[in-house]
């Protein structure tokens, strides 16, 4: 196994803080409340990815994580197709639901992704006392499973059989918008983050005065 249950809990808490910051920025952009679930963390076999990530069309904004961590980890913002227009409408102040996606929508999606993922990584890295930055984003409107699979087959993942699937859902009930943030660290990055978290927990759970 890549992670034991204690490490999963620590990672979940870390992701929770990051996702809360991403939710705040989304809430500011849309001027509405954003509901957020506790992040879902699973260690799954690659053959089972299809049970958690579908082939239903969605907007996918992908970032590589850079900064003071080893490369090869990604953040993927997943917006189901029926949420995409509602999201960009809410952001651009438009109302027409039944329309094709334009370049304006694509710019808006990239911008939303940039702001949310920057906030997510910033808060996460801040807690670990390091710097993490998103690469420039790439947007594709495609099948989520195909995107995740392509990431898992990329060089940074080095022939894995298991993957840590980290997902958190952000919702606007008012606008009926759903977003999912996926964190896809490769093994070296995952090991680094987990050991930083363990050090952090050791320090904070030490006797009074030692922190």
**Does position 143 bind another protein by CB under 8 A?**
yes
**Does position 154 bind another protein by CB under 8 A?**
yes
**Does position 84 bind another protein by CB under 8 A?**
no
**Which residues are CB-neighbours of 154 under 8 A, at least 6 positions away?**
72
Kindly state the smallest distance separating residue 54's Cβ from another protein, in Å.
Answer: 7
**Does position 62 bind another protein by CB under 8 A?**
yes
The nearer residue to another protein, 55 or 198, going by C-beta atoms, is 55
Please tell me the distance from the alpha carbon of residue 44 to that of residue 37, in angstroms, as a whole number.
Answer: 20
The binder of another protein chosen from 54, 107, 174, 199 (CB under 8 A): 54
**Does position 98 bind another protein by CB under 8 A?**
no
Kindly state the smallest distance separating residue 144's Cβ from another protein, in Å.
Answer: 7
The nearer residue to another protein, 34 or 85, going by C-beta atoms, is 85
Can you give the three-state secondary structure of the chain, one letter per residue?
CCCCHHHHHHHHHHHHHHHHHHHHHHHHHHCCCCEECCCEEEEEEHHHHHHCCCCCCEEEEEEEEEECCCCCCEEEEEEEHHHHHHHHHHHHCCCCCCCCCCHHHHHHHHHHHHHHHHHHHHHHHHHHCCCEEECCCEEEEECHHHHHHHHHCCHHHCCCCEEEEEEEEEEECCCCEEEEEEEECCHHHHHHHHHHHHHHHHHHCCCCCCC
The binder of another protein chosen from 12, 42, 86, 145 (CB under 8 A): 145
**Does position 194 bind another protein by CB under 8 A?**
no
**Does position 102 bind another protein by CB under 8 A?**
no
**Does position 96 bind another protein by CB under 8 A?**
no
The binder of another protein chosen from 96, 98, 103, 155 (CB under 8 A): 155
The binder of another protein chosen from 142, 162, 169, 192 (CB under 8 A): 142
**Does position 133 bind another protein by CB under 8 A?**
no
Please tell me the distance from the alpha carbon of residue 127 to that of residue 118, in angstroms, as a whole number.
Answer: 14
Which residues are at the interface with another protein (CB under 8 A)? 45-50, 53-57, 62, 64, 71-72, 135, 138, 140-157, 159, 161
């Amino acid at each position: 196994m890549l992670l034991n249950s204690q490490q999963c809990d620590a990672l979940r808490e870390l992701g929770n803080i990051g996702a809360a910051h991403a939710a705040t920025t989304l809430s500011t952009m849309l001027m509405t409340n954003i509901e957020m679930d506790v992040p879902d963390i699973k260690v799954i076999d690659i053959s089972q990815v299809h049970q958690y990530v579908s082939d239903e069309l969605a907007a996918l904004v992908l970032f590589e994580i850079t900064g003071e961590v080893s490369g090869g980890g990604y953040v993927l913002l997943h917006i189901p197709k029926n949420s995409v227009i509602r999201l960009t409408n809410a952001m651009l102040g438009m109302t027409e639901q039944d329309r094709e996606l334009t370049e304006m929508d694509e710019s808006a999606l990239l911008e939303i992704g940039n702001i949310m993922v920057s906030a997510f990584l910033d808060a996460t890295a801040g807690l670990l006392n390091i710097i993490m930055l998103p690469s420039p984003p790439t947007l594709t409107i495609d099948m989520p499973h195909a995107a995740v699979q392509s990431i898992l087959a990329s060089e940074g993942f080095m022939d894995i059989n298991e993957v840590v699937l980290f997902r958190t859902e952000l919702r606007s009930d008012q606008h009926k918008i759903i977003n999912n943030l996926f964190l896809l660290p490769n093994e070296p990055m995952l090991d680094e983050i987990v050991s930083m978290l363990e050090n952090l927990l050791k320090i904070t759970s030490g006797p009074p005065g030692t922190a």
